Amino acid sequence: MEDDPLALATRRRIYEAVRRAPGAGARETQRAAGTGWGETTYHLDRLTDAGLVHRERSGHQDHYFVADVPLGDRRLLGLTRSASARRLLVTLLETDEPTIPELTDRTGLSEGRLSVHLRRMIETGVVRTGRRERWRTFELVDRERVRRLLVTYRDGLGDSAIEGVLAAWSELFRP
């Protein structure tokens, strides 16, 4: 085992790419670090073995986080790697218990796309369901946590579509 896992410049670049974009996959990390695929996966494995980076499996993809990102944040950040999921989270923050038709109107996402993201969010405990008349409703379990997380990690999300909202929240809710 190496004395200093961050002694190599390439490994430091990969570590910094993970730190800047928590929850990114290996390909996104590779592009951000400007490294080859083989060296990226090799160094991600070494960083994981050293305990500096955590690997979280979500569906069919691994997401990488620096070790100081709490487990609950890692799960939520894994969901935010999709622009559609981020748009849905922002809409859920801005709307009280919307239904699927309301979510499709506000997000511009299809019912199928919403269904995929809502299922993942329910499975990870980020969203819960309710009822309004004949409609199923959706709400965030912990709005303040989601808002804090989006503001704290906004630089790593790289989403111009929600940047205006996040900038306003950053001024109102400093982490």
For the chain, domain boundaries? 9-67, 70-175
The one-digit pLDDT tens for each residue of the chain (175 residues) are: 458 999 999 999 999 999 988 888 999 999 999 999 999 999 999 999 999 999 988 777 888 999 998 887 888 888 887 888 989 999 999 999 999 999 999 999 999 999 999 999 999 899 999 998 899 999 999 999 998 888 888 776 665 545 555 555 555 555 5
| Helix pair angle (160-172, 143-152), 10° resolution | 110
Q: What is the pLDDT of residues 98-126, one digit of tens each?
A: 999 999 999 999 999 999 999 999 998 99
pLDDT of residue 57: 84
Identical fold, 9-67 and 70-175: yes
* Choices 1.10.260.40, 2.60.40.10, 1.10.760.10, 1.10.10.10: CATH for 9-67: 1.10.10.10
User: Would you say how long the chain is, in residues?
Assistant: 175
CA 76 to the chain's CA centroid: 5
Written out in words, the top-level CATH class of the domain with range 70-175 is mainly alpha
Write down the pTM of the prediction: 0.73
3-class state of residue 44 by DSSP = helix
Beta-carbon-side half-sphere exposure of residue 71 (alpha carbons within 13 Å): 2
99 secondary structure, DSSP code:
B
